Amino acid sequence: MKYLFLCININWSTDRGALLSNRYCSFKVNLQFVTEGNFTASFLMFVFVQHYLENFYQLPTTRYRSERKNSANVIVEKLKEMQQFFGLNVTGKPNQETLEMMQKPRCGVPDLDNFMLTPGNPKWKQANLTYRIVNYTPQLSKADVDTAIEKAFQVWSGLKAVMLNFAFSDHGDNSPFDGPNGILAHAFQPGQGIGGDAHFDAEETWTKTSKNYNLFLVAAHEFGHSLGLSHSSDPGALMYPNYAFNEPSTYALPQDDINGIQALYGPSNNPIQPTGPSTPRTCDPRLTFDAVTTLRGEMLFFKDKFFWRRHPQIPTVELNFISLFWPSLPTGIQAAYEDIDSDQVFLFKGKCYDIQQDYPKHISNYGFPSSVQAIDGAVSYRTKTYFFVNNQFWRYDNQRQFMDPGYPKSIASTFQGIENRVDAVFQRNSKYYAFDLNNHRVTRVDRSVRWLNCR
Ligand SMILES: [Ca+2]
Ligand SMILES: [Ca+2]
Ligand SMILES: [Zn+2]
Ligand SMILES: [Zn+2]
């Protein structure tokens, strides 16, 4: 497998991306990335940050603020803990990336630190796990709630525990909810009384779809706490504190959570140990990308159900679920390019792409013969779009909306040193970058993970 990065003249801009999504195939997505709005270095921001750290990082609460001697120092230290947990640049300052992270909807259970298990590792000893739904949300039918909770329960199947209560209410446990968004739910670690119970903010909109917030996904997360797990800093884990949508019908418990639960309750009795999807490691030198594109000055690197987002002004390259920004986009995007003139991003999967919001289109619209099953990589450069398919490439004229005559040509004949298939292509600056990932060797410039700011 080879990477080819064709890189030419991109204008860095601070503009935030706008893309629009679709089912299957390919997609033009229109999405407003979360911004910090008017959260400048103001009093409001200070209160917001303080509140977050009190809730999730054990910053002493308001009551004791007067007793806080070096309270500024305490806040800096707690901020650093939070930044460390989320893999952000550890500055101790409430910079843009930190504020964005703090504004994401999440679980109400504190993050403490990187330990997978709740301190003291409380767990259940009983053999039969049962639960009771104490009350229901008016936003979903009783049957839908039952189904979501049952399915969430089964995510962790094969375990032992005790009677757990699921409640949608405000509920007198000294952890009040906060209205729509923010904290979605919380749960208690194994123990007497309230131990293992899970509570859901009744003011959220609960759904069984990709719309915020999918009850099954939140319940499955809370149930992990009920069993004794605490938060994981793996952004692909179910026990990651922030909410992210994942398709419920195909949901499989991620490996990080399997490791966590097995550390607590031991391996499965099944001769074949369960395995789950792993999160790609950002600086793994063997990392390959499914597709790469620029987007209004940012760069997006797609891999399975994840993507990295590289912003010119933000030193940390953020790994996210694709679904976090585009809930209806499929995983495994195969190619992507930005057409700067029309300010659109086109994404490809199999024989499909889409430039409208509603229906995916067929790649034959570009003039590909029916023998082309999928696009390996695509990039737009000076009114032309180059499509890479196996060892050949096509050139499409964006203005005439026609495939240029004389194509396909062999990749090797034009792009010397790139003889095999291309994984992903993008453009930037006036340079040409090539990576031979088959031999783990760079043919020009640098390793691919350099794009993720790895050393
Ligand atoms: Ca809430
Ligand atoms: Ca590809
Ligand atoms: Zn949680
Ligand atoms: Zn509660």
Question: Same CATH topology for 106-265 and 291-452?
Answer: no
Q: How far apart are alpha carbons 60 and 53 in whole angstroms?
A: 9
What per-residue confidence (pLDDT) applies to 431? 41
Q: What is the structure's pLDDT at 450? A: 63
- pLDDT band with cut points at 50, 70 and 90 for residue 44: confident
pLDDT at 402 (0 to 100): 93
Which ligand has the nearest atom to the CA of 230? 3
51 annotated ligand-binding residue: no
Mean pLDDT in residue range 398-418? 85
How far does the centroid of ligand 1 lie from the alpha carbon of residue 141, in Å? 20
Average pLDDT, stretch 59-68?
62
How would residue 417 be classed by pLDDT, with cut points 50, 70 and 90?
Answer: low
Do 370 and 364 contact (CB within 8 A), yes or no? Answer: yes
Three-state SS at 229:
strand
pLDDT at residue 224 greater than cutoff 80 = yes
Q: Catalytic residue at 97?
A: no
Mean pLDDT of the region 71-83: 89
Ligand 3: centre distance to CA 64 (Å): 26
Point out the catalytic residue in the list 81, 97, 222, 338.
Answer: 222
* Residue 148 reports pLDDT greater than 80: yes
Predicted TM-score (pTM) of the model is: 0.75
Task: For domain 291-452, give the CATH superfamily.
Answer: Hemopexin-like domain (2.110.10.10)
Highest mean predicted confidence (pLDDT) among 243-247, 318-322, 447-451: 243-247
- Rounded CA separation 373/352 (Å): 9
Residue 73 host element (H or E)? helix 71-85
107 is in an annotated binding site: yes
What percent of the chain shows pLDDT beyond 70? 74
Q: Does the structure show a pLDDT above 50 at 220?
A: yes
Ligand nearest to the CA of 168: 4
CA of 217 to the centre of ligand 4 (A): 18
The strand order across the sheet containing 298-303 reads: 291-295, 298-303, 306-310, 318-321
Listed residues: CB within 5 A of ion ligand 2? 291, 334-335, 376-377, 424
Give the C-alpha distances (Å, rounded to integers) separating 85 from 60, 103, 190, 305, 310: 19, 15, 24, 22, 19
Judge whether residue 121 has pLDDT over 60: yes
pLDDT at 116: 42
171 is in an annotated binding site: yes
The percent of residues above 90 in pLDDT, for the chain, comes to: 27
C-alpha 330 to ligand 1 mean position (Å): 28
Residue 360 pLDDT exceeds 80: no
Give domain 106-265's CATH number out of 3.40.390.10, 3.40.50.10800, 3.50.50.60, 2.40.100.10.
3.40.390.10
Domain regions of the chain by residue span: 40-60+70-103, 106-265, 291-452
Comparing 381 with 74, which gets the higher pLDDT? 74
Centre of ligand 1 from the C-alpha of residue 184, in Å: 5
> In the chain, how many H helices and how many E strands?
8, 20
d(CA 199, CA 341) in angstroms, rounded, equals: 49
Give the number of the ligand closest to the Cα of residue 388. 2
- Does 239 belong to an annotated binding site? yes
Separation of CA 419 and ligand 2 centre (Å): 16
Ligand nearest to the CA of 134: 4
CB neighbourhood size of 204 (10 A)? 24
**Per-residue pLDDT at 294:** 87
User: Is 90 exceeded by the pLDDT of residue 418?
Assistant: no
Question: What pLDDT is attached to residue 20?
Answer: 25
Going by the DSSP 8-state scheme, the letter that residue 146 receives in this structure is H
Which segment of 58-62, 102-106, 211-215, 218-222 scores lowest on mean pLDDT? 58-62
pLDDT at 273: 81
pLDDT at 408 exceeding the cut of 50: yes
State in Å: Cα 170 to ligand 4 middle: 7
pLDDT of residue 86: 92
Mean of all residue pLDDT scores within the chain? 77
Domain spanning 40-60+70-103: which CATH class is it, in words?
mainly alpha
pLDDT (tens digit, 9 = 90+) per residue, 159-178?
A: 544 556 667 766 778 888 88
Q: 263 vs 327, which has greater pLDDT?
A: 263
Is residue 376 marked as binding?
A: no
Whether residue 221 is annotated as binding a ligand: the answer is yes
Span 255-268, average pLDDT: 88
What is the per-residue pLDDT for 380?
86
Confirm whether residue 336 is marked as ligand binding: yes
Q: Are 316 and 97 in contact (CB under 8 A)?
A: yes
Q: Is 178 annotated as a binding residue?
A: yes
Ligand nearest to the CA of 198: 4
Predicted pLDDT at 443:
52
- Better-scored residue on pLDDT, 427 or 7: 427
**pLDDT (average), residues 31-35:** 31
**pLDDT at residue 102 in the model:** 94
- Whole-number Å distance, alpha carbon 107 to ligand 1 midpoint, is 9
More confident residue, 434 or 97: 97
The partner residues of 186 in beta bridges, in order of sequence, read 199
Distance (Å) from CA 387 to ligand 3 centroid: 43
What's the pLDDT tens digit per position in 263-308? Answer: 888 887 777 888 899 998 888 877 888 888 888 888 888 998 899 9
Task: Of 118-127, 306-315, 346-355, give the lowest mean pLDDT range.
Answer: 118-127
Instruction: Tell me whether residue 193 is annotated as binding.
Output: no
Is 454 annotated as ligand-binding?
Answer: no
Return the pLDDT at 23. Answer: 24
Residue 341 vs residue 16, higher pLDDT: 341
Residue 348: beta bridge partners? 335
Give the closest ligand to the alpha carbon of residue 334.
2
Ligand 2 centroid distance, CA of 233 (Å): 28
| Angle subtended by helix axes 255-265 and 215-227, to nearest 10 | 30
